C-alpha cells in the first residue's frame, strides 16, 4: 500500500502538517520526516522502550503506532523537555544521579518516567521500579535511573517515595 495520508499533529506544542505514507511508523515519521531524532528506534516491537513518546498525555511506543494514527494528536518527545531556561528538572536529575551512560535509552526513559510520575499522586519505590521496567537500559544497572525518578517523584508529589525495601 503506497497511499499517503495528510496529517496534522501537535509536536511539543507546535502544529506540524505533512504527508505520511500509510505504512510509516510514527517513530520513523518523527525521525526521518520531522528530523526529530531524539526519539530512538530500538527493538521495533515494543519491548525496549527506546521509542517511547507521550501521545495525548500517555506514554506510548512510537514504533507500534503508524504516523497516520497520530493525526490530530498531541505528541511530546524528548526535544520538548528542555526550554530556553535549560534542561527539564527530570533531565537535570538524570545528570545529577548519573542515570545515563551511552544515552541511547535515555529519551525513552525520560518520557516513561514523566508519564509514570505525573499521572499518579504518589508512588512508592516498588511502583517506580515496576513502572520503569517498561524501558530497558544496557549500561547503568538501573540504580541511577531509579534514584533520579525517585527524586523527580519527590519534586512532583511533594514527598519522598516510600521505600518498601526488599527485592522487587
Partner 1 sequence: MLAEFEDSARPLAGGQSLVPLLNFRLSRPEFLIDLNGLPELSDIVDRGDHIAIGAMTRERSIENSDLVRSKAPLLHEATTHIAHLPIRSRGTIGGSLANADPAAEYPAVALALEFEMVVQSVRGERRIKAADFFEDVLTTALQPDELLIEIHVPKIPSNSGWAFVEIARRHGDFALAGVAAQITLEKSSLKDAKLAVCGAGSTAIRLTDAEEIILRDGIGDDAINAAAAAAAAAVDPMSDLHASAAHRQRLTGVMTSRALKKAAARIGSLA
Residues contributing to the site for partner 1 (CB under 8 A)? 1, 25, 44-46, 49, 52, 55, 58-61, 63-66, 68-69, 112, 115-116, 130-131, 133-134
Closer of 92 and 142 to partner 1 (Cβ)? 142
CB atoms within 10 A of CB 34: 18
Pairing of strands 52-55, 74-76: antiparallel
Q: How far is the CB of 162 from partner 1 (least distance, A)?
A: 18
- What residues pair up with 112 in beta bridges, in sequence order? none
Of 47 and 96, CB closest to partner 1: 47
Cβ atoms of 145 and 105 within 8 Å: the answer is no
CA atoms within 13 A on the CB side of 105: 23
Q: How far is the CB of 74 from partner 1 (least distance, A)?
A: 13
* Complex with partner 1: residue 33 or 64, whichever CB lies closer: 64
Report, in Å, the least distance between residue 47 CB and partner 1: 8
Q: How far is the CB of 48 from partner 1 (least distance, A)?
A: 11
- Give the residue with the Cβ less far from partner 1, 34 or 134: 134
Q: Classify burial at 111, counting beta carbons within 10 Å of its beta carbon; exposed 0-12, middle 13-18, buried 19 or more.
A: buried
Cell numbers placing 136: 530497558
Amino acid at each position: 500500500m503506497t497511499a499517503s495520508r495528510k496529517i496534522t499533529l501537535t509536536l511539543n506544542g507546535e502544529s506540524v502538517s505533512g504527508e505520511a505514507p500509510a505504512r510509516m511508523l510514527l517513530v520513523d515519521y518523527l525521525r526521518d520526516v520531522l528530523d526529530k531524532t531524539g526519539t530512538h528506534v530500538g527493538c521495533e516491537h515494543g519491548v525496549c522502550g527506546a521509542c517511547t513518546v507521550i501521545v495525548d498525555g500517555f506514554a506510548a511506543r512510537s514504533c507500534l503506532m503508524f504516523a497516520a494514527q497520530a493525526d490530530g494528536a498531541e505528541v511530546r518527545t524528548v526535544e520538548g523537555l528542555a526550554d530556553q531556561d535549560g534542561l527539564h528538572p527530570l533531565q537535570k536529575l538524570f545528570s545529577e544521579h548519573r542515570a545515563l551512560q551511552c544515552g541511547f535509552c535515555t529519551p525513552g526513559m525520560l518520557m516513561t518516567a514523566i508519564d509514570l510520575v505525573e499521572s499518579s499522586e504518589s508512588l512508592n519505590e516498588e511502583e517506580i521500579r515496576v513502572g520503569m521496567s517498561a524501558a530497558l537500559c544496557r549500561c547503568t544497572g538501573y540504580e541511577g535511573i531509579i534514584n533520579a525518578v525517585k527524586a523527580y517523584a519527590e519534586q512532583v508529589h511533594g514527598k519522598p517515595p516510600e521505600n518498601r525495601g526488599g527485592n522487587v
